[in-house]
Amino acid sequence: MTTEPLKIGVLGYRFMGKAHANALARLPMFFPDAPDVERHTLVGRDEAALAAAADRFGFAHTETDWGAAIDEVDVFYNLGPNHVHAEPSIAALEAGVPVFCEKPLAPTLEEASAMHEAAADADVPAGCAFNYRFVPAIRYARNLIADGELGEIRQIRGRYLQDWLVDPDAPWAWRLDSELAGSGTLGDLGAHTIDLANFLVGDEVGGVDRVSGHLRTFVDERPVLDDDGDVEEYRDVTVDDAYTAQVAYDSGAMGSFEASRFAAGHKNDHTIEVHGSKGSLTFSLERLNELEVLREDSRGYETVLVTDESDPYIDHWWPPGHVIGWEHTFVHENYEFLSAVAEGDEFSPSFAEGYEVQRVLDAIERADERGEWVDVE
């Protein structure tokens, strides 16, 4: 393992920038075997806001040119909006700099393909930040499935429900623009569900063979607000507000997925269920430390509290029974990614896995456009 601190460059300082900066700061306290890191350069466009964020997040330098930042760091985190994922990530990989990119991998399948190819040609790790893979209860669930506790996997169901757009006067944001985001709820929330399904049951059911898709936009335009909260103008919403999809796997297993930003009363409800020939399990992000498990010959579901020292990652935190939260998943994924960088290992989820998710997203959009089932290309 390298003895010099890894100089970290981060593009983006808002929601995901804060989540990853917090994770980087927590690593030495709770994961003493993690590589040493230096929060070196924070990248953004607004110099004043950038300087304030760098001060809060503990970064020594700021830069408005991501190309210049790549030249100065050992690892590049691309946490910007979806439309800036491809170019900086590809440039970093071509320069031999490991890349950690937020999900979805790109707005379009074409850009995701280019990123996948760049990662395949590079001799450094390239990771896609699907943080829900790093929930201890999800790791526990994956181990149960791999050990055959559920038997043959027959069906997987996933939903991701939020309500931040229920109000028709909720302000416009970049996530509502197809040029910036690619898709709406499908790419933002559906990508998480599709990747989690791949992670949990992919080895048992194989790849996705074909899909159906239904996308809807409920509010066609939204207000743009000025600094005082007054309406400046209205802009079109050019992405989906909700989607549903049916999935046929190579094994014959079936899946059903949905997400919505119009689900009143649901702030961040990501739920996934797996049903097999011998049992079932259910996970809900709103009860992140728990797993509902139905085993063969049992009379009902058992609530398993995944907080024992023997459970994944838990020995790094608090005594048994003391729960952890959403922000800890970023610590876990940063630990795994930076360890892979320092040791020259592969990291999962990789750009290749992010690309596989993008193939399914693209197929769901094509299915909606055609009004029929389509093959995943």
- 53-88 confidence digits (pLDDT tens): 999 999 999 999 999 999 999 999 999 999 999 999
Q: How confident is the model at residue 362 (pLDDT cuts 50, 70, 90)?
A: very high
Overall average pLDDT of the 335-364 stretch: 98
pTM over 0.85: yes
What pLDDT sits at residue 1? 43
Q: How confident is the model at residue 227 (pLDDT cuts 50, 70, 90)?
A: confident
- Residues 91, 20 share a domain: yes
Work out the number of other CB atoms within 10 angstroms of the CB of residue 257.
26
Q: Three-state DSSP class for 62?
A: strand
Distance CA 106, CA 85 (A): 6
Which region among 19-28, 220-229, 341-350 has the lowest average model confidence (pLDDT)?
220-229
Q: What percent of the chain has pLDDT over 70?
A: 99
- pLDDT tens-place string over residues 113-124: 999 999 999 999
- Residues 247, 369 share a domain: yes
Q: How confident is the model at residue 2 (pLDDT cuts 50, 70, 90)?
A: very low
- Residues 280, 175 share a domain: yes
Torsion on CA atoms 169, 164, 44, 330, rounded to nearest 10: 180
- Residues 263, 141 share a domain: yes
Who contacts 228 (Cβ-Cβ below 8 Å, separation ≥6)? none
Spatial contact of 107 and 332, defined as CB atoms under 8 Å apart: no
Distance CA 27, CA 139 (A): 20
- pLDDT tens-place string over residues 152-183: 999 999 999 999 999 999 999 999 999 999 99
Residue 317, domain extent: 136-323+351-375
- Residues 119, 14 share a domain: yes
Query: In the numeric block, which tokens belong to residue 27?
Result: 């690593």
CATH number at residue 63: 3.40.50.720
- Residues 241, 143 share a domain: yes
Domains of the chain: total: 2
Q: What percent of the chain has pLDDT over 90?
A: 97
Q: Does position 267 have pLDDT exceeding 60, yes or no?
A: yes
